[in-house]
């Protein structure tokens, strides 16, 4: 009578092949998951920074005067909320400035304590100042970052220019 079944060598070869296939599938899954998380983090960073840039741009577009201070770490501007350009009594002086790794917004420099954090975890893009002006054009440039213990550091450079119409 003939024995039916597999030999030990056949089982070992089959298990080795299955182990290699399982290793390839697992590593592919882990790499894909890491890439997806990195892409998602990058999108979240850009989205958060874009919202902050849009707010800065909206406020600077209506500025009636602007000045860059502290070597480009601060931009102070005057707005006229009532649009009475011939009457400076109702003008408000506002500013955006960098404090540590945060971009801060002060909606009225005459009132103390009303500052708020607009964006966290920012740094300079190389040696470029955060804020620059030339005539009626303001340029804002920064790098926003997130350091994730599991997925590593992610950063995104952001820049925009704003035509300040009322200057």
pLDDT in tens, 119-148: 999 999 888 999 999 989 999 999 998 887
Q: Is 118 within the bounds of a domain?
A: yes
- pTM of the entire structure? 0.77
Q: Is 2 within the bounds of a domain?
A: no
Can you give the C-alpha Rg of the chain in angstroms?
A: 28
Q: Is 86 within the bounds of a domain?
A: yes
- HEC states along the chain? CCCCCCCHHHHHHHHHHHHHHHHHHHHHHHHHHHHHHHHHHHHHHHHHHHHHHHHHHHHHHCEEEEEEEHHHCEEEEEECCCCCCCCHHHCEEEEEEEECCEEEEECCCCCCCCCEEEECCEECCCCCCCEEEECCEEEEEEEEEEEECCCEEEEEEEEEEEECCCC
pLDDT at 37: 84
Q: How confident is the model at residue 153 (pLDDT cuts 50, 70, 90)?
A: confident
Q: Is 1 within the bounds of a domain?
A: no
Q: Is 13 within the bounds of a domain?
A: yes
Does residue 1 register a pLDDT over 70? Answer: no
pLDDT at 98: 96
Q: Is 102 within the bounds of a domain?
A: yes
Q: Is 3 within the bounds of a domain?
A: no
Q: Which domain holds residue 152?
A: 8-163
Q: Is 61 within the bounds of a domain?
A: yes
**Domains identified in the chain, total number:** 1
**Number of Cβ atoms within 10 Å of the Cβ of 162:** 20
């Amino acid at each position: 009578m003939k024995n039916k079944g597999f030999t030990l060598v056949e089982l070992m070869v089959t298990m080795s092949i299955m182990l290699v296939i399982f290793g390839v599938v697992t590593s592919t899954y882990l790499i894909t998951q890491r890439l997806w998380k990195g892409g998602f983090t990058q999108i979240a960073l850009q989205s958060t920074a874009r919202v902050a840039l849009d707010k800065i741009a909206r406020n600077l577009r209506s500025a009636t005067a602007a000045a860059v201070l502290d070597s480009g770490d601060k931009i102070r501007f005057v707005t006229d909320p009532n649009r009475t350009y011939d009457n400076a009594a109702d003008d408000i002086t506002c500013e955006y400035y960098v404090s540590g790794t945060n971009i801060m917004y002060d909606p009225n420099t005459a009132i103390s304590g009303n500052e708020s954090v607009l964006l966290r975890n920012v740094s300079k893009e190389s040696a470029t100042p955060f804020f620059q002006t030339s005539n009626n054009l303001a340029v804002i440039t920064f790098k926003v970052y997130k350091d994730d213990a599991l997925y590593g550091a992610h950063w995104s450079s952001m820049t925009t220019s704003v035509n300040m119409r009322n200057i």
